[in-house]
Amino acid sequence: MFKYFKEKKQKLLRFLFGTFSFTALMFAFQACYGMPERPFETVVQGKVTDMETNDPIQGLQVSSDIGFTTTTNEKGIFIDPIGLRTIYEWGEYHITVTDIDSTENGSYETFDTVVWALDFTQPIELQVKKVSDAQ
Amino acid sequence: MSVFKRFLFRVFRKNETEIHELSYLFWECTWRCNLACRHCGSDCKAEAQTADMPFADFLHALEPLEKRYPRDKVIIAITGGEPLLRADLADCGRTLRQHGFRWGIVTNGMLYDEARHCELVAASLSSITVSLDGLEETHNWLRQHPQSFQRALRALRIIANDPHLIYDVVTCVHRRNLKELPQLKELLIANGVRHWRLFTIAPIGRAAGDRELMLSRAQVEEMLLFIAETRKEGRIDLKFSCEAYTGKYEEEVRDSYFFCRAGINIGSVLLNGDISACPNIDRSFRQGNIYKDNLLDVWDNCFQEMRDRNWMRCGMCASCGDFKQCLGGAMHLRPAHGEPIQRCYNFRLHG
């Protein structure tokens, strides 16, 4: 319980001090003989569209090894349910789009892609391919 | 506003100290180095008497951290000596990544070419610092190697052009390169470098007795003014390192106030297994050893002399009105527990 309140207080203080210092990266630091690190906070979000028609697709499952699974809404938009999260700028993450509602909104192939951490600062555009009739 | 910000900062720092999350861990993997610089924080040797630490030993010490902290929370700063001398560096990094740690290196750039860059990035290298200590003649003089400047320049060109890396260039400012800083700035900008950090040479290691490397009071002020002016220009992200409290310059020379996080967020595993904070801190501050102690137990239960710094109120700090703001300065400038600080820029500038 003590730890919980300390962590909440830590977030609040970082926010307050960051706001008044006009720097959002207050909690980033580096040792004087070390290399830099710059974790940043963002809300991971994006849009899934049909590769051929560019139409948004509802009901697809979007998951990432950054730690979330969610589904797209009627505008094809997905938002990380965690909300604001800290991301450490180190390299790549996987995003997988899976059609979980069968043929309700069309049938789409599972799509897997790699994005760099910094890409999460912008909405991610993903395009998926319809399962062909032959399949 | 400034008074309120400083107050808020002190509350923030107190809370960070109470929580003391270990988020930045140095690994001094070797004492071998391919240079013999006039200055070195680690006082390493070309032919070190002590063997490199086996990676398996370090990885074993990390096990409790892996269980405690979420993936990505801790970054491992691989340092030396020169870490690129380890042939297994990429393998070490890849394994660290697989265990959920981010990692980076601090290098002189001598061995950093395209092939090594690709190998390390493929092993999830996330952050890197390259040293560049002046224009060609001055850099080579300090590094005591005729090709060191060109090699460092090659390294930073590669790094600055990779959008996936966090990096910076560090420059040790001393009497010979102080006047070169404006030219060095242009050189860095021309080569695509966006992040630059200056520090002065501490009177420790093999630089301790070299007066040619230490700045005078007027020169320190000149350097700080250069940083402040460059930051206003906005052409390159320049900052003064966390090595010292600078009094009235605090808000002009870096993004935040001076905060020595040694033992608060920064720990280290030294070559012989000793557990400490930054590797340049006097070795008498060691808190344990990975070959005898659990790293996390030591982190949780030791380091009190770095988390409660009231003992630092001695020497020139004893009557200083800024003590509550700087808390006695940087740990690496204390030769031992109870000893006064070796150098204070605030005192030299305003004292």
**What does the angle CA B265 – CA B159 – CA B42 come to, to the nearest 5 degrees?**
45
Tokens encoding B201: 């040479």
The distance of A17 to chain B (nearest Cα, Å) reads 6
Worst-scoring range by mean pLDDT, A114-118, A130-134, B344-348? A130-134
Q: How confident is the model at residue B36 (pLDDT cuts 50, 70, 90)?
A: confident
Q: Which ipTM did the prediction report?
A: 0.80
Residue of B nearest to A10 (CA): B15
Predicted TM-score (pTM) of the model is 0.82
Closest CA to B149 of B167, B130, B168, B165: B130
Chain B contact set for A36 (CB, 8 A): 104, 127, 129, 166-168, 195, 197
Does position A22 have pLDDT exceeding 50, yes or no? no
User: Which residues on adjacent β-strands are paired with residue B238?
Assistant: B196
| Distance in angstroms (rounded) separating the CA atoms of residues B187 and B275 | 39
Q: How confident is the model at residue B210 (pLDDT cuts 50, 70, 90)?
A: confident
pLDDT tens by residue, A73-110: 999 999 999 887 877 655 678 999 999 877 777 889 99
Q: CB neighbours (10 Å) of residue B213?
A: 22
Tell me if residue B275 falls in helix, strand or coil: strand
Q: B277 or A65, which is more confident?
A: B277
CB spacing of B15 vs A9 below 8 angstroms: yes
DSSP B253: H
pLDDT tens by residue, B230-246: 999 999 999 999 889 99
The distance of A44 to chain B (nearest Cα, Å) reads 17
Q: CB neighbours (10 Å) of residue B297?
A: 12
Contact between B124 and B99 under an 8 Å Cβ cutoff? The reply is no
Torsion of CA B108, B109, B112, B118, to 10 degrees: 90
Q: How confident is the model at residue A23 (pLDDT cuts 50, 70, 90)?
A: very low
User: Which residues on adjacent β-strands are paired with residue A124?
Assistant: A46
In chain A, which residues touch B (CB < 8 A)? 6-7, 9-10, 13-14, 16-17, 20-21, 23, 25-26, 29-38, 88-91, 116, 118
